[in-house]
Amino acid sequence: MKGWLKQWILPSARSSGSLMERVASARGIAENALAKFSAPTMGDIAHPKELPGAVAVGERLATAVRSGRKIAIFGDYDADGMCASAILLHLMRAVRPDDPPIVYIPERATEGYGLSVPAIQHLASMGIQTIVSVDCGVTAIEEAREARRLGLELLVTDHHAMLPSGALPDVDAIAHPALDGGTGELCGAAVAWKVGWAFSCAWCGSARVPEILRELLKETLALAAIGTIADVVPLRGENRVIARLGAERIADSALPGLLALARDAGIGSKDRVDAERISFGIAPIVNACGRLGRAVNAVTLLGLPSLAVAGSNPVELMRTAGRLSADFRQLNDVRKQIERRIVDSASLRTDEGLGEARGACVLAAPDWPRGVVGIACSRLVETLGVPVILLEIDGEFAHGSARSVEGYSVLDGLHSCSSLLERFGGHAAAAGVAVRMDRLAAFREALSAHASKNQHSAQAPSIRPDVEFFAQDLSVESFEALERLGPFGRTFPAPSVFIRDAVVSRDASTFGAKSDHLSFYARIGDSSPTEVRCTWWRQAGQASRIRRGDRLNLVAIPQVDRWKGTPRPAFTVIDATMNVAERSATSR
């Protein structure tokens, strides 16, 4: 069937069972595995010994703490890195509260991503003896040499791509999912959480850790969940379990900083937290601090002592958390304004940015803050369907971010252009880039050509809904059951359904700050008395095609609308088409 936007590949046959059971079957989840899949437990998270290097790093950290060494956690300025830093801060402070580690996050604008020789030298001058990196470090060859020269113990925890040569920094221990032929897909915060688990066991000399550490591991799993979802790692296997169980602890967290963030994101103590509420609620507030403020302040917020720790002052902690979180929320509001300006400006220049091969879009401007361009890249990827790199011009150089599409590794693309770049790093879906302005045009053409030749399935040519939807599926209970298959994200998207012959009950209307979104109400089946709100993001241009009385076929995502506390079924539309060639008489 042909929709207004894409071709549809419809489910071949009607299967039996509830909506959740039919979707699970369509996704290859066996009936006898469904109960376990929809209700994972902590026991489904693999032991740190399954993560290459985690036990070694954990043991060395325990030895460093026990020996009274001065320790620094060296993190990254995105949500994943900040959450990773806070995880290790919580656990190491719990066993040595009088002398906790310091946290060092490089300044995005002046220092750039990851370990650097000046930062290593600065930490050494402060008397630091052990540095543990989180969410960075696996490519820090020169930095490791400097640490060795200065007599520092350097421990690396990371998940980013290693050097194509396979060379590793000469450090005391590395924890990384891809070491020793591993294929893990953990984010930086999840790697740090596993190392924190190994540290707790090493500290106690037993797999059974005391209650304070056990509870902190449970609470900080929420930070690993935020990192997992914010860093857009594949939501399958262990990642899905971490995201699911961690998200469940957010709404009523014992971590005051996380609790304040949840409230600022509109999450109440009884609310259900899913990947969407993290992606569009909590993560942007955390990221705003690293993009427009000082990332270390976000670690201060996320690392505030647990309300459950003996001797803590809950009132004072929540007051501090509330103040910091409110500041970050304001930064996020500023970030949204800047992002809209960058997207609008870049959208006018896409022909220039696509280059001759039109395989990727590379643009630069002096008034595009490098801390915000990554989000703007994602918006343009949705529109253009090709990898996008946006850069801030700063004198002779341009610094910025890249975002890719499914089926193309932008990191591979950057490696193919490495001779034109000053610095780059990241992974297949996202990366950071620095380039000289006199090489920008050549870089644009080289990357665009590489992407054009190597995007094998970058944009799906069709939409494939999981199952057909029927009137009897329309209930809050049915939609809530479907939520138990989540969280949904990369490689495991939210279930979509094919709805046949939905009757539009109200004319379509637009909404949003730029009136770029579309909303209409429909009934599923002629006999249904229930109107369901259908939201179609960024498709206001379709409003003239949808009028009361029309019969539409839809591909949509079932969702529970909990606005104002009353749950009701709703749909997010992916595509639509008219059910009949002529509009019904009632539509005229």
The answer on pLDDT for 540 being more than 70 is yes
Task: Specify whether 492 is located in the same domain as 410.
Answer: no
Confidence of residue 533 (pLDDT cuts 50, 70, 90): very high
Domain termination residue (choose one: 233, 251, 269): 251
Which whole number is the average pLDDT over 144-166?
A: 95
Q: Which long-range contacts (C-beta less than 8 Å, at least 24 apart) are formed by 404-411?
A: 404/428, 404/429, 404/430, 405/381, 405/455, 405/458, 405/459, 406/457, 406/458, 406/459, 406/460, 407/455, 407/456, 407/457, 407/458, 407/459, 408/451, 408/454, 408/455, 408/456, 408/458, 410/360, 410/451, 411/161
pLDDT value, residue 580: 65
Tens of pLDDT, residue by residue over 318-349, are 999 999 999 999 999 999 999 999 999 999 99
State the Cα–Cα distance between residues 432 and 145, nearest whole angstrom. 23
Q: In sequence order, which residues have a C-beta less than 8 Å from that of residue 471 and are 6 or more positions away?
A: 524, 525, 527, 528
Let me know if residue 319 belongs to a domain. Answer: no
DSSP state, residue 177: T
Bridge partner list, 2:
7
With a cut of 50, say whether residue 584 has pLDDT above it. Answer: no
Same domain, 111 and 200: yes
What is the longest distance spanned by two Cα atoms in the chain?
83
Residues 6 or more apart whose Cβ sits within 8 Å of residue 376 = 339, 342, 343, 346, 368, 390
Nearest to 534 by CA among 526, 553, 93: 553
The reply to whether 92 and 174 lie within a common domain is: yes
The SS3 call for residue 73 is strand
Same domain flag for 428 and 472: no
Q: Is 403 exposed, middle or buried (0-12, 13-18, 19+ CB in 10 A)?
A: buried
Q: What is the CATH number of the domain that holds 92?
A: 3.90.1640.30
Distance (Å, whole) CA 200 – CA 217: 9
Q: What is d(CA 402, CA 510) in angstroms, rounded to the nearest whole number?
A: 31
> Cβ distance 3 to 463 under 8 Å?
yes
pLDDT exceeds 70 at position 270: yes
Tracing tokens 């095609």 back to the chain, one arrives at: 545
* 587 pLDDT higher than 70: no
Q: Give whole-number Cα distances, 321 to 2, 47, 297, 307, in Å.
A: 51, 32, 11, 11
171 and 197, same domain (yes or no): yes
Check whether 208 has a pLDDT greater than 70: yes
With respect to residue 555, please indicate whether it lies within any of the assigned structural domains. Answer: yes
- On whether both 494 and 417 belong to a single domain, the answer is no
Say whether both 146 and 216 belong to one domain: yes
DSSP state of 515: S
Residues 423 and 482 in one domain: no
Number of H helices, E strands in the chain: 19, 19
CATH number of domain containing 429 = 3.10.310.30
The predicted-structure confidence for 105-151, as pLDDT tens digits, reads as follows 998 878 888 999 999 999 999 999 999 999 999 999 999 999 999 99
Condensed to tens digits (0 to 9), the pLDDT of residues 497-521 reads 999 999 999 999 999 988 999 999 9
- Name the residue among 247, 255, 329, 251 with its Cα closest to residue 285: 329
Is residue 228 assigned to a domain?
Answer: yes
In whole angstroms, what is the distance from residue 231 CA to residue 358 CA?
Answer: 27
Residue 485's alpha-carbon distances to 17, 30, 403, 560, in angstroms, are 15, 13, 28, 14
Residue 458: what pLDDT? 44
Q: Identify the domain boundary among 232, 251, 270.
A: 251
Confidence of residue 563 (pLDDT cuts 50, 70, 90): confident
Report the distance separating Cα 400 and Cα 392, nearest Å: 6
Residue 354: inside a domain: yes
Mean pLDDT of 253-258: 96
Instruction: With respect to residue 32, please indicate whether it lies within any of the assigned structural domains.
Output: no
Residue 52 lies in a domain: yes
pLDDT, tens digit (0-9, with 9 covering 90-100), for 33-71: 999 999 999 999 999 999 999 999 999 999 999 999 999
Query: How far, rounded to the nearest angstrom, does the alpha carbon of residue 112 sit from its chain's CA centroid?
Result: 20
- How many Cβ atoms from other residues are within 10 Å of residue 515's Cβ? 11
For 519-577, give the DSSP string.
Answer: EEEEEESTT----EEEEETT-GGGGGG--TT-EEEEEEEEEEE-GGG--EEEEEEEEEE
Q: Per residue in 388-411, pLDDT tens?
A: 999 999 999 999 999 999 889 999
Range of the domain at 520: 7-27+466-587
pLDDT at 455 over 80: no
Let me know whether 373 and 498 are in one domain. Answer: no
Q: What are the tokens at 147?
A: 């640490």
Task: Give the percent of the chain with pLDDT over 90.
Answer: 82
Count Cα atoms within 13 angstroms, Cβ side, for 445: 4
Same domain for 355 and 445? yes
The CATH number given to whatever domain includes residue 554 is 2.40.50.140
Give the per-residue pLDDT at 73: 98
- CA–CA dist 320, 315 (Å, integer): 9
DSSP state of 386: S
Q: Are residues 485 and 568 in the same domain?
A: yes
- Choose the weakest-confidence range: 36-50, 72-86, 209-223, 280-294: 280-294
What's the rounded Cα separation, in Å, for the pair 265 and 167?
42
> What's residue 522's pLDDT?
96
Q: Is 376 in contact with 387 (CB distance < 8 Å)?
A: no
Mean pLDDT of the chain: 92
**Contact status, residue 389 vs residue 402, Cβ threshold 8 Å:** yes
553 lies in some domain: yes
User: Per the domain annotation, does 344 fall within a domain?
Assistant: no
Give the C-alpha separation, 560 to 564, whole Å. Answer: 12
Same domain, 46 and 164: yes
467 DSSP β-pair partners: 497
Q: Give the tens place of pLDDT for each residue, 360-369.
A: 999 999 999 9
> pLDDT class for 527, splitting at 50, 70, 90?
low
Question: What are residue 134's DSSP bridge partners?
Answer: 157
Closest CA to 306 of 327, 325, 321, 323: 321
Q: What share of the chain is helix, strand, coil (3-state, %, to 5)?
A: 45, 20, 40
Please answer whether residues 219 and 249 qualify as being in contact, where contact means their C-beta atoms are separated by less than 8 angstroms: yes
Count of the separate structural domains present in the chain: 3
CA distances 429 to 89, 178, 378, 402, 455, Å, are: 28, 17, 10, 8, 13
Which of 251, 283, 313 is where one domain is finished?
A: 251
